[in-house]
Chains A and B, each alone.
Chain A
Amino acid sequence: MQLEVRTNTPFWLVLFAPLFAMIVALSLCSVLIIWADAPVFTAYGALLNGGLGSRFAIMETLSRSIPLIFTGLAVAVAFRSKFYNIGCEGQLYCGALAAVYIGSGMITLPPIAMIPLLMLCGVIAGGLLLIVPVLLKTHLKVDEVVTTLLLNFIVLLMVSYLIEGPMKDPASLGWPQTASIIDEGVFPPLFEKSRVHLGLIFALIAAVITWIVMRFTTFGYASRAVGLNLQASNFFGIPVNMTIIKVSLISGGLAGLAGVSEVAGLKGYLTLDLSPGFGYTGIVVAMLAQLNPIGVVISAFFISVVYVGADSMSRVLNIPAYLADVIVGVSVLCVLVSVMFTQYRLRFK
C-alpha cells in the first residue's frame, strides 16, 4: 500500500473532503458519548436541535459564527502563505481593547463614523500585535508559531492588568471589566429579539473581499506563491518579505475585527472571558474550509452549530460540553487526512 500523486482531482472530492472529515470526526467522538452512557443518535440529535432546531438556536448559532468567520479568515489568509499565525486569540483581544479604549467615551461620533472608526482601530491593533512575530520571522527566521502562541498569554495578562487597573470601570462594583462602549459605537442587532448583530454583515463582506483579493489580484498570487515555494517566489521577483508582512497585517487585522465585533456587537464591555478560544477555533474553521474565504463562512457556521448545540446537549443528556472542543480538535486532524486524499490516492498492490 502506498500513496500516489493524483494527476487530477475531481471537483466533488474537493467539495466533499471536509464533509467526510466531519462525518469521521463525529463518528470517532461517538465513542466518547457511549463512554458517557448516552445514546449516540439521541445525543447528536440533541446537538443538531440545540444548534439549528429553533429560531433562537439559529440566532445563537449565527451570532456565534461572527467571530469565527473573522478568525477563520485571519487564519486562512496567513496559512495560505505558510505564515502560521496561531495568535488570533491575542489579536482578538487587542482589537477588542482598542475598540473599548476609543469607544467608551473618548470620542463621540455619529454611528455612521463611529462604527468604522472602531473597526479601523481594531484592525490596526490586531495587525500591530503581529509586527513583532513577523519581523522576527522575516529577519531572524524565528519560528512564528511559538512567538504568536506566547503572545496570546502576554496579551491576556495585559488585558487582565488593564481591566483590573487603568481601564477598570468604576461603576462595575468591583468586577474586573472595562466601561461599556457608548451607544453610537454599538453594532445594532439585525433581527428583533436576537443577538445577531451588524457584525455578521461585516463578516460576510470581509469574506467576499478576502476571496476577491486572494483569487484575482497579483497580491493574492504572490501570497500563494510565497506559501507554496519561497525560493521560486523570490526568483520570480516577488518581494517575499514584504508579502509576508502584508499578509500578517491583514491576518492580524481580521482577528482584531473579531474582537471589535464581540465587544461592540455582543458584550458591550471587555472582560477576560470575551473569547472562549475563538482564535484557536479559527484554525479549525480555516482548515475545514481548506483555506478558502467563502468556505470559511460555511465552516464557521458549521462549527458554531457544534458549539451552540453541544451546550444544550450537555444540559439535556449530561454529557460534558467539552465534547464540542473534542469534536473540533478531532476534525482538524480528520480534515488534514481528507485533504491529503484530494492530492494523493492510495495504491494497493
Chain B
Amino acid sequence: MPVLELNNISKRFGNLLANENISLALDAGEIVALLGENGAGKTTLMNILFGHYSADEGWIKVNGEILPNHTEAAINAGIGMVHQHFTLADNLSVMENIVLGTESLFAWRQDRAKASKRLENLSHEFGLEIDAQKQVSELTVGERQRVEILKAIYRDVKILILDEPTAVLTPQETEKLFSSLKDLSKKGLTIIFITHKLHEILSVTDRVAVLRRGKLVGEVLTKEADKNILSEMMVGHKVSYPSKKNQQYGDIVVELDNISTVGEKGESSVQLHNITLQVRSHQILGIVGVSGNGQLQLARLLSGMIQHNSGTMNLFGNTIEKNSPLSMIRQGVARIPEDRHTEGIVGEMKLWENLIGERLSLNQMTHFGCCIDKKSAIQHSEQLIDDFDIRCSGTNAQANLLSGGNIQKLILARTLTQNPGFIVANQPVRGLDEGSIAYVQTQLMDARNRGAGILLISTDIDELLTMCDDLMVMCDGYISKVFKAESKSISEIGLMMAGQLGTDNTSIN
C-alpha cells in the first residue's frame, strides 16, 4: 500500500487551471522529484497536499485514509513541508520557531527542558546541528533551512516536502543537503523534492514525476532518465535561449571604486564593503552569490535607492555625489528590481500608469509640466504592449492581475525602450516559466549587443554561466575579483560563494 496517494486533483484560480487531474502514489522511503518549470503547478499541488489550498476536485489518502483539507490534518498525518520562502519568525528563537504548535494551546506552561533535549537528540541523529537559543535573524540561509527541516522532523513527519530547497544554497551546501536527505529516506521517510533543475534530480532521486501546465505528463525512474528526456518532458516544446557571441567591449559605463555602505541603525541586512567593479559597454557582468550576501544592496545602490558613504561611483564618466532613483533614471539607467510586485509595479494602478511611471518623473508626457498627457501616454503604452507582447486585456488592465512573466515584460518594456546605456538586473528571471525566461534573456542579450553594459545578479549559477561574459562572487558584502565565466569550475565558484573570495579584504575564513 502506498504511503501517499493523490487522486485526480484539480485546482482552478480564476481562469487559470493550476492542476488538472493529477494522480500520484508514493511508497515509504522513496525520494520522488516533482519536476516542472515555474508555473507548472508544482507548488500549488503541494500546497493542496499540505492543506493551504483546497482542491476543487479529487482526494488525497495517507496510509489508506482520506486526508481532510486543512493544515492541521496534514501535519497530524505526518506531512511536513519546507517552503521555498522560509516560514520562520526572525525575531524569535530557533527553539520557539520549532516548538510552536507542538503543544496544546491551552497548556499553562511550556516544557522547555524536554523540548530542547528532544531537539538535541534529533539534530545529532540527522547531523543537522543548530544552536537552538539563537534568534533566527542571526542565522545564515543554510542554517535557516536546517531549522525548517528540523521543524518538520521534530513533529515526526513521515512525508517531507521540499520546495526548491537548493535555490538558496551553495553547491557544497547542496551536496550536504542531499546526503542528509538520503539518510532520512533510509530511515523510512518519504521525500518529495520539488525542483526545476535537472541535474539535481539525477543525483538524488529514485523517481521523477513531471508536471507541465498543470498536468502530469509522465513518471520515470531516475535511473532510466537523462537530461534530454526530462527537459523535453518538462517544457514540451523547444525553447530557444539566446546564444552568447563574444564581442569587443566598449567604454566603461559604470565604475565603482572601494564603495561601502552603512545601513540605518537596527537594520539587519548585509552592507557593502569595499566594492570595486566596472562594467563596460557590450559586457554582461554576472554577480554570483547565495541570496542575502549584499547583492540586493548592490542593486539598490545602482538603482539609486541607497547612498554610499565611502568610495567613488562613476556613471558614464560622471562622478555621482548624491544618489537618487531620479538621477539614475535621468542618466538612462534601466533598473530591473528583484521584487517585481513590491518595487516593479504599483499593483492597484492601471497598466498604462505603470508604464509611464518613470517618464512622469522625467517630466515627459506632461502638459505644462504638471498635467498628465493621457493621450500620448496611452499611445505609448499601446505601442509597448505590442512591441513587448504583454498579454493583457488592454492599457486599462490592473497591473497586479498580470502573470509574473507579463509583469516582467512590463518592466522590461518600461526600461528598455529608452535604449539604456547601463542595465542593472536583479534576478530578472526568477519564478518565470521557460518561455518567459528565454524572452527576458533574449531581450537582455539584444540590449548588450546594441551596446549596453549589464550587471546581472542571480543566485542561479547555470543562468549566469550561460548569460555572462565575466563573473564576480559576493559573500557577506564583500566581492571577489572579476574572472572569465569559463575559467573556473562550479565547485571552485561554490567555495568562493561560501566565503573564500581570494581577496585580502575578506576577513571570513
- Listed in ascending order, the chain A residues whose CB lies under 8 Å from chain B are 4-5, 7, 216-219, 221-222, 224-225, 228-229, 231-239, 349
Inter-chain contacts of A221 with B (CB < 8 A): 353, 360, 372
- Asked if residues A235 and B305 are in contact (CB atoms below 8 Å), the reply is yes
Interface string of B331-352 (1 = CB under 8 A from A): 0000101000011111111000
Inter-chain contacts of B56 with A (CB < 8 A): 349
Cβ-defined partner of B371 (8 Å) among A7, A216, A228: A216
Known: A218-B372, A225-B349, A228-B346. A235 touches B360 (CB 8 A): no
- Asked if residues A232 and B346 are in contact (CB atoms below 8 Å), the reply is yes
B329 within 8 A of A: yes
Known: A7-B14, A229-B342. A234 touches B305 (CB 8 A): yes
- Asked if residues A235 and B303 are in contact (CB atoms below 8 Å), the reply is yes
Known: A4-B14, A237-B325. A232 touches B371 (CB 8 A): no
Cβ-defined partner of B349 (8 Å) among A224, A235, A349: A224
- The chain A residue with its CB closest to the CB of B325 is A237
- Asked if residues B360 and A228 are in contact (CB atoms below 8 Å), the reply is no
Cβ-defined partner of A5 (8 Å) among B335, B366, B401: B401
- Most chain A beta carbons < 10 A, residue from B304, B337, B343: B343
Inter-chain contacts of A4 with B (CB < 8 A): 14
CA–CA, A7 and B335, complex, Å: 29
- The chain A residue with its CB closest to the CB of B300 is A235
B418 within 8 A of A: no
Cβ-defined partner of B346 (8 Å) among A5, A229, A237: A229
- Asked if residues B349 and A218 are in contact (CB atoms below 8 Å), the reply is no
Cβ-defined partner of A225 (8 Å) among B342, B357, B398: B357
- Asked if residues B345 and A232 are in contact (CB atoms below 8 Å), the reply is yes
- Asked if residues A236 and B349 are in contact (CB atoms below 8 Å), the reply is no
- Asked if residues A233 and B346 are in contact (CB atoms below 8 Å), the reply is yes
Inter-chain contacts of A236 with B (CB < 8 A): 325, 346, 357-358, 360-361
Nearest-neighbour CB distance to chain A for B348, whole angstroms, equals 5
Inter-chain contacts of B401 with A (CB < 8 A): 5, 7
CA–CA, A349 and B363, complex, Å: 49
26 A–B pairs (Cβ distance < 8 Å), ordered by A: A5-B14, A7-B401, A216-B371, A217-B371, A217-B372, A218-B372, A221-B360, A221-B372, A225-B357, A228-B349, A229-B346, A229-B347, A232-B342, A232-B357, A235-B325, A235-B337, A235-B344, A236-B346, A236-B357, A236-B358, A237-B325, A237-B328, A237-B329, A237-B357, A238-B361, A239-B326
B105 within 8 A of A: no
CA–CA, A221 and B346, complex, Å: 11
Inter-chain contacts of A233 with B (CB < 8 A): 346
CA–CA, A228 and B347, complex, Å: 8
- Asked if residues A234 and B325 are in contact (CB atoms below 8 Å), the reply is yes
Inter-chain contacts of B344 with A (CB < 8 A): 232, 235
CA–CA, A239 and B361, complex, Å: 9
Which chain B residues numbered 341 to 384 have a C-beta less than 8 Å away from chain A? 342-349, 353, 357-358, 360-363, 366, 370-372
CA–CA, A349 and B54, complex, Å: 10
CA–CA, A112 and B366, complex, Å: 35
CA–CA, A162 and B71, complex, Å: 62
- Asked if residues B343 and A232 are in contact (CB atoms below 8 Å), the reply is yes
CA–CA, A288 and B325, complex, Å: 36
Known: A5-B401, A236-B358. A216 touches B349 (CB 8 A): no
CA–CA, A234 and B329, complex, Å: 12
The 6 closest A-B pairs by CB, nearest first: A237-B361, A236-B357, A237-B326, A229-B346, A237-B325, A235-B343
Which chain B residues numbered 197 to 238 have a C-beta less than 8 Å away from chain A? none
- Asked if residues A218 and B360 are in contact (CB atoms below 8 Å), the reply is yes
Interface string of B13-56 (1 = CB under 8 A from A): 01000000000000000000000000000000000000000101
- The chain A residue with its CB closest to the CB of B15 is A7
Inter-chain contacts of A239 with B (CB < 8 A): 326
CA–CA, A224 and B363, complex, Å: 17
Which chain B residues numbered 252 to 282 have a C-beta less than 8 Å away from chain A? none
CA–CA, A237 and B54, complex, Å: 41
Q: A217-B372, A228-B348, A232-B342 are in contact. List 4 more A-B contacts (CB 8 A).
A: A218-B363, A221-B360, A234-B305, A237-B325
- Asked if residues A225 and B371 are in contact (CB atoms below 8 Å), the reply is no
- The chain B residue with its CB closest to the CB of A233 is B346
CA–CA, A224 and B372, complex, Å: 14
- Most chain B beta carbons < 10 A, residue from A4, A225, A229, A237: A237
CA–CA, A5 and B348, complex, Å: 12
Nearest-neighbour CB distance to chain A for B366, whole angstroms, equals 6
CA–CA, A4 and B401, complex, Å: 12
Nearest-neighbour CB distance to chain B for A237, whole angstroms, equals 3
Inter-chain contacts of B353 with A (CB < 8 A): 221, 225
- Asked if residues A237 and B372 are in contact (CB atoms below 8 Å), the reply is no
- Asked if residues A231 and B371 are in contact (CB atoms below 8 Å), the reply is no
Nearest-neighbour CB distance to chain B for A285, whole angstroms, equals 23
- Asked if residues B14 and A218 are in contact (CB atoms below 8 Å), the reply is no
CA–CA, A217 and B362, complex, Å: 14
- Asked if residues B326 and A218 are in contact (CB atoms below 8 Å), the reply is no
Inter-chain contacts of A217 with B (CB < 8 A): 370-372
Interface string of B48-75 (1 = CB under 8 A from A): 0000001010000000000000000000
Inter-chain contacts of A235 with B (CB < 8 A): 303, 305, 325, 335, 337, 343-344
Nearest-neighbour CB distance to chain A for B471, whole angstroms, equals 27
Nearest-neighbour CB distance to chain B for A74, whole angstroms, equals 22
- Most chain B beta carbons < 10 A, residue from A217, A219, A221, A236: A236
- Asked if residues A231 and B343 are in contact (CB atoms below 8 Å), the reply is yes
- The chain A residue with its CB closest to the CB of B362 is A237
Inter-chain contacts of B361 with A (CB < 8 A): 236-238
Inter-chain contacts of B304 with A (CB < 8 A): 237
Inter-chain contacts of B348 with A (CB < 8 A): 228-229
Inter-chain contacts of B362 with A (CB < 8 A): 237
Inter-chain contacts of B363 with A (CB < 8 A): 218
CA–CA, A4 and B53, complex, Å: 13
CA–CA, A235 and B329, complex, Å: 10
Cβ-defined partner of B370 (8 Å) among A219, A228, A232, A238: A219
Inter-chain contacts of A224 with B (CB < 8 A): 349
- Most chain B beta carbons < 10 A, residue from A221, A232, A235: A235
CA–CA, A219 and B366, complex, Å: 11
Nearest-neighbour CB distance to chain A for B412, whole angstroms, equals 15
Interface string of B289-304 (1 = CB under 8 A from A): 0000000000000011
Interface string of B424-447 (1 = CB under 8 A from A): 000000000000000000000000
CA–CA, A239 and B370, complex, Å: 15
- The chain B residue with its CB closest to the CB of A229 is B346
Inter-chain contacts of B347 with A (CB < 8 A): 228-229
CA–CA, A229 and B398, complex, Å: 14
Nearest-neighbour CB distance to chain B for A142, whole angstroms, equals 15
- The chain A residue with its CB closest to the CB of B369 is A218
CA–CA, A349 and B335, complex, Å: 43
Inter-chain contacts of A219 with B (CB < 8 A): 370
Nearest-neighbour CB distance to chain A for B5, whole angstroms, equals 23
CA–CA, A219 and B363, complex, Å: 11
- The chain B residue with its CB closest to the CB of A234 is B325
Inter-chain contacts of B371 with A (CB < 8 A): 216-218
